[in-house]
């Protein structure tokens, strides 16, 4: 009888070791603890997205953030609002 491979209950995060954000202040990728005005948020997210654009694991990062419904921050070059729009689009298309 063949045995099935064990499946991990949580997706691997090994790819995170290769992310460019590891050498960057995490505050660029996540909202601060205080209210963030729109221009401040847009500037922060633009800085994060510029880093993501050159990241070798960007697609894997975005896939992971979408699959895990990551609620905060810029992942794979997408803000939380943009990821919600992607997920909403998939739900409406499917």
Residue 19 engages ligand SF4 in binding (rule: CB under 6 A): yes
Closer residue to ligand SF4 in complex, CB, 45/55: 55
* By CB under 6 A, residue 28 contacts ligand SF4: no
* For ligand SF4, the closer CB: 26 or 87: 26
Q: Which two tokens stand for residue 80?
A: 């939380």
- Tell me if 78 contacts ligand SF4 by CB under 6 A: no
24 within 8 A of 51, measured Cβ to Cβ: yes
Contact 28, 47 (CB under 8 A): yes
Q: Given the rule CB under 6 A, which of 1-9, 35-43, 56-64, 80-88 is the region that contacts ligand SF4?
A: 56-64
User: What residues have CB less than 8 Å from 70, skipping those under 6 apart?
Assistant: 64, 80, 83
């Amino acid at each position: 009888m063949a045995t099935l491979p064990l499946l991990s209950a949580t997706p691997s995060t090994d790819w995170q070791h290769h992310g460019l954000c590891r050498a960057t202040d995490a505050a660029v990728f996540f909202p601060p603890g205080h209210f963030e005005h729109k221009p401040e948020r847009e500037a922060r997210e633009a800085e994060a997205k510029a880093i993501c654009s050159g990241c070798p694991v960007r697609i894997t990062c975005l896939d992971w953030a979408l699959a895990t419904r990551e609620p905060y921050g810029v992942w794979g070059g997408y803000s939380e609002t943009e990821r919600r729009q992607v997920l909403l689009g998939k739900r409406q298309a499917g």
